[in-house]
Amino acid sequence: MLNQLVAEPSISSTTADIDRSNLRVVEHLANWLDDLGFATELMPLPDRPDKANLIATLGANGKSHPGGLVLAGHTDTVPVDEALWQSDPFQLKDKDQRFYGLGSCDMKGFFPVALQAAAAFADKTLSSPLTIVATSDEESSMAGARYLVESGRPKADYAIIGEPTGLQPIYAHKGVSMMSVTVHGAAGHSSDPSLGNNALDTMHSVMGALMVFREELAHQHQHPGFTVQVPTLNLGCMRAGDNPNRICGHAELQIDLRLLPGMDSDAVHRQLEQRCQEAAAGSNTHLTVSTAYPPVPPFESPADGDLTVTLSKLSGHAPGTVAFGTEAHFLQTLGMQTAVWGPGSIDQAHQPNEYLEHAHIQPAIDTLQQIISRYCQA
């Protein structure tokens, strides 16, 4: 199964010419889940017929909110830099007790594990349904998960997102926003500053204001559950001007903002924009702040919730937090107690020669079978 999933390119990207459909991946999953007796439904995204979520349910018996468990994952991968791979990223390679391939760890590998666990229940009576959800576009816009929330589905009591956590249950992560601050000035000959409006001069003030804002956020917000206990604001990339002897007419700064659970992304974005506008005021340049996508909201569920505690006991790993974003907020919004837990390590995600180690696979299947039994056979 993993070989077939890896062989179907399903890159999602903000760059349109490398963005690919995920339909072949969800179709494979739907076929296999059909064979196990699941009721399967493909949900094409509005305006994107080449992208779809899959919802597959076993044992629902027509009930609209019958409780039960969701096992969720995303079907897309990040883009690939083939020159850095030692093997074909779209051909699963079994070597050194590892499965190498693009998406093997993040996170196509979770689906065969979930299906193998589910297969043990195919001919059993479930008191509450088992639902497997496969989303599109997690690595770019999270459009698939956002569409689930818009559709109000699926409904269940518990959800596990099988992102690679090394089988450690994750009860919280930071939110992630990627923002762009653009200053539009006017170019002119460098010999006379009055011939233009220097965008870099304005950007210098804006960067100072952002660094002050960062300090304030760190003083106001801390969370002891995280290795980096404060929200972060990274000045990551700047493009500006064209020549030393021209007044800089245009500057763009890209920043990454990671907020703690409990912080309101929209409110912080508004404050950030206000600080930038104040810094640019009186400069005769024009400033705009934009986001490529809506932010990935922070996520936190109680560390002593039944799902997290049960996963912790079964896997032998204490609950923890991570610094990467997932779809957890969206499943939580649908009313599910949610944990992030899965095979593979995030250290291998988004890397050349990504792999899933064999050692995680059977323990993951065993744990999922006990979880399914607990929440669907009570």
Q: Which residues bind Zn ion (CB under 5 A)?
A: 106-107, 163
Closer of 349 and 365 to Zn ion (Cβ): 349
Identify which of 8, 6, 244 has the alpha carbon closest to the alpha carbon of residue 107: 6
Q: Are 23 and 12 in contact (CB under 8 A)?
A: no
Residue labelled with tokens 């079994």? 94
In the block, tokens 């604001």 appear at 233
Question: 160: closest CA among 36, 2, 373, 337?
Answer: 337
Question: b/e per residue, 76-88, with b = 16+ CB within 10 A?
Answer: bbbbbeeeebeee
Whether 176 contacts 295, CB under 8 Å: yes
**Taking the mean position of all CA atoms in its chain, how far away is CA 200?**
33
Query: Considering all CA atoms of the chain, what is the largest pairwise distance in Å, rounded to the nearest integer?
Result: 82
The label of the residue with tokens 């818009």 reads 150
The nearer residue to Zn ion, 51 or 214, going by C-beta atoms, is: 51
Is 106 a residue of the active site? no
* Least gap, CB of 164 to Zn ion (angstroms): 7
Sheet containing 286-291: order of strands: 232-240, 250-259, 175-184, 286-291
Chain centroid offset of residue 351 CA:
16
How many angstroms separate the Cα of 259 from the Cα of each of 234, 237, 248, 249, 356?
Answer: 12, 19, 32, 32, 29
Residue whose C-beta lies closest to Zn ion? 106
Catalytic residue among 8, 19, 76, 163: 76
For Zn ion, the closer of residues 107 and 307 by Cβ is 107
Q: Could you tell me the smallest distance in angstroms from the CB atom of residue 138 to Zn ion?
A: 6
Residue number with CB closer to Zn ion (106 or 357): 106
Q: State the nearest-atom distance from the C-beta of 144 to Zn ion, in Å.
A: 12
Question: Minimum CB separation from Zn ion for residue 243, in Å?
Answer: 42
CB of 293 to Zn ion, least distance (A): 16
Whether residue 256 lies in the annotated active site: no
Instruction: Give the active site residues.
Output: 76, 138
